[in-house]
Amino acid sequence: MEKQELMALFIIKLFAGFLIGWVSANYYPVNDYWDLNYKSIEDFHLLLNHPRSFFSDLFYNPYQGNFGRFFNAVGSYWNDLRNNIIIKILAILNIVSHGSYYINSMLLNSFGFIGLTALYRVYKDVYPQYKTRLMIGCFLLPSTLYFTSGIHKDLFVATFLAFFVYSIYFIVQKGFSWKRLGLMVFSTLMLLILRNFLFIILIPATISYFISAKFNINPLKISALILFSILIVLGSIELLFKNFHPLEIITQRQYDFLTLEKAGSQLQMNELKPTFKSFIVNFPQAVNHAFLRPYYWDSSNKFSFLLSIELTGYLLLLILFLFRFQMKININSNIVVFGIIVSMYMFLFIGYIIPNIGSIVRYRSIYIPFLITPIFSNVKFNLNTHYKH
């Protein structure tokens, strides 16, 4: 029965890929999805006629040979590399697809579905009694399904993050294997290239996960201790070295986004300074933008309105989870806490740096399953029965 259900989910995943391609082509004439596909057609001809150049130009740096600016969003070889890798992958797929956007979408979403299935296997091992809820949480959350089905970095980031979680979880649960280690290393490398700030967040979260799992320590305590230690180190650096600001890599990222052309859903944002005081002062704004937008009155079109309804549904689910029902949270598996912590950190990071609602919704869509799936799996919908404590 599960195979049939997964096949149905696979078809839905492919349809979502077709939908985002069609919507982008018909309502957003200038968009990254089709632009990447068009560029891949040019690279496909380069592959056929000059295969050496096809691979060597991946290392071409147009910024006067400067390979710095690793964390910058504009004017950086590393930022360009993310799109160039996707373009090269699409160019190779064009051997089969002949440049068809929809065939390329189908091929990439087949790969993405494998990643979602890996994530589903992890949560199924944690919550074996809630198969249907897990399928909804891992495969069918609307904004996640939609935005991670386009020909874009989001599809790859979501997939490699799922592979990473799968590998570290089953290394702990089932034991070491070279296959799992290889998957973990490759996923880590791809996440470092495609979304370097996620990679940074994964480092302390993964250390916390392995320590809590190995020594059977509450993962929340370990995570809090590691976070506190990081804050102490960063604060000490700020006090001891007046001209060295570790937080500047985040403020620079925000500045890069603010210098881009303003979007229709642009938000008013305070400009961050690379100090703890600035981050503390702007914390409420970051929470508001990342966790609560779009509001209904932010909705300039039907699509935005649907996104606000979806977000309201998640907030209501969280409220029910916290206040309405008597529940017992299953955090016996440290991987649940790992996913929640990584997602919360990424939400805050998004709230600090992204200045428009459209991008906020797209960026955070990757991490919503790690928050909603555990909540959804613990909600007790029967009002007449209660958990026994």
Nearest partner of 39 among 99, 81, 93, 82, judged by Cα: 99
Task: List pLDDT tens digits, range 207-250.
Answer: 999 999 888 888 888 888 988 888 888 778 777 776 767 888 89
Q: How many domains does the chain have?
A: 2
**234 and 187, same structural domain?**
no
Query: What is the extent of the structural domain holding 123?
Result: 1-194
Question: Given this model, what pLDDT does residue 381 score?
Answer: 61
Q: How far is CA 71 from the centre of its chain?
A: 17
Q: Which residues of the chain have a pLDDT value below 50?
A: 325-330, 383-389
Distance (Å, rounded) from C-alpha 175 to C-alpha 162?
Answer: 18
**233 and 160, same structural domain?**
no
Residue 388 and residue 317 in contact, taking contact as beta carbons nearer than 8 Å: no
Q: Which H/E stretch holds residue 230?
A: helix 219-240
**161 and 32, same structural domain?**
yes
* HEC per residue, 18-37: HHHHHHHHHHCCCCHHHHHH
Question: Given this model, what pLDDT does residue 325 score?
Answer: 47
Distance (Å, rounded) from C-alpha 96 to C-alpha 91?
Answer: 10
Nearest partner of 377 among 124, 173, 117, judged by Cα: 124
**189 and 156, same structural domain?**
yes
Question: Given this model, what pLDDT does residue 382 score?
Answer: 58
Instruction: Give the end of a domain, one of 161, 194, 227.
Output: 194
Instruction: Give the end of a domain, one of 194, 227, 257.
Output: 194
Residue 130 counted as domain residue? yes
**87 and 43, same structural domain?**
yes
Residue 41 counted as domain residue? yes
Residue 210 counted as domain residue? no
CA distances from 76 to 63, 81, 200, 286 (A): 7, 9, 18, 25
Residue 313 counted as domain residue? yes
Instruction: Give the end of a domain, one of 145, 164, 194.
Output: 194
Distance (Å, rounded) from C-alpha 278 to C-alpha 273?
Answer: 6
Task: List pLDDT tens digits, range 168-205.
Answer: 999 999 999 999 999 999 999 999 999 999 999 999 99
Question: Given this model, what pLDDT does residue 65 score?
Answer: 59
Cis peptide before 294 (omega within 30 of 0): yes
Residue 199 counted as domain residue? no
**163 and 265, same structural domain?**
no
**302 and 269, same structural domain?**
yes
**236 and 330, same structural domain?**
yes
**238 and 170, same structural domain?**
no
- For the beta carbon of residue 6, count every other beta carbon within 10 angstroms: 16
Residue 149 counted as domain residue? yes
Residue 200 counted as domain residue? no
**250 and 111, same structural domain?**
no
Distance (Å, rounded) from C-alpha 43 to C-alpha 95?
Answer: 11
Q: What is the number of alpha carbons within 13 Å of residue 237 lying toward its C-beta?
A: 15
Token pair for 52: 């050496």
Residue 250 counted as domain residue? yes
Which residues on neighbouring strands pair with residue 297, listed in sequence order? Answer: none
**116 and 33, same structural domain?**
yes
| pTM score of the predicted model | 0.92
**244 and 142, same structural domain?**
no
Taking every pair of Cα atoms in the chain, the longest distance, rounded to a whole number of angstroms, is 70
Question: Given this model, what pLDDT does residue 332 score?
Answer: 52
